[in-house]
Amino acid sequence: MFLNDTTHAMTKNGRVSLPRRFQKELARDDAGNLCGVITFGFEGCLFIFSEEGFKQMYAEQNTGVFVTPEVRKRQRLFFSRSHEFTLDGSGRLIVPERFREVAGLTDEVVMVGAGDRAEVWDPKKWAEENAIDGDFDSLGMGLDPSAAPKGEGEDA
């Protein structure tokens, strides 16, 4: 699982170290190199998936194959904006130039764990997105107090 967030330097050619805790989520190819998939994300970030995680997401995207023009367009856009990568021997990946431009990445990035994927953010965008720290309770985390076991809900 991809967890936590850390800031990393990125070179002019887009080379950036992937945190070791994220590397542990990736599989090795036949040559023994760690590999995964990077793609455009939401809110201006990039997504990094393990190969297995990308396959699972692919299966979810393909539940409505060829059903409507909207589904076909979504599939085309998503998969045409996905790029397989292999980490170098130092655990670094090269973020393709087009991806860096779209996400506004320059000399520093924030690597964010998001459960089934990692996200790569411009530090200023991440600060804006992450400004909810003081209001974390308002997110609700998808938890319904009425569904909590007795003794844990508000009405217990």
Q: How is the chain split into domains, by residue range?
A: 5-131
Determine the CATH number of domain 5-131.
Answer: 3.40.1550.20
pLDDT at 89 (0 to 100): 92
Percent of the chain with pLDDT over 70: 80
The mean pLDDT value of the chain amounts to: 85
Selected residue with higher pLDDT from 75 and 117: 117
pLDDT at 118 (0 to 100): 96
Confidence bin at 148 (pLDDT 50/70/90): very low
Q: 46 near 103, Cβ under 8 Å?
A: yes
- pTM confidence score: 0.81
Percent of the chain with pLDDT over 90: 64
Confidence bin at 132 (pLDDT 50/70/90): low
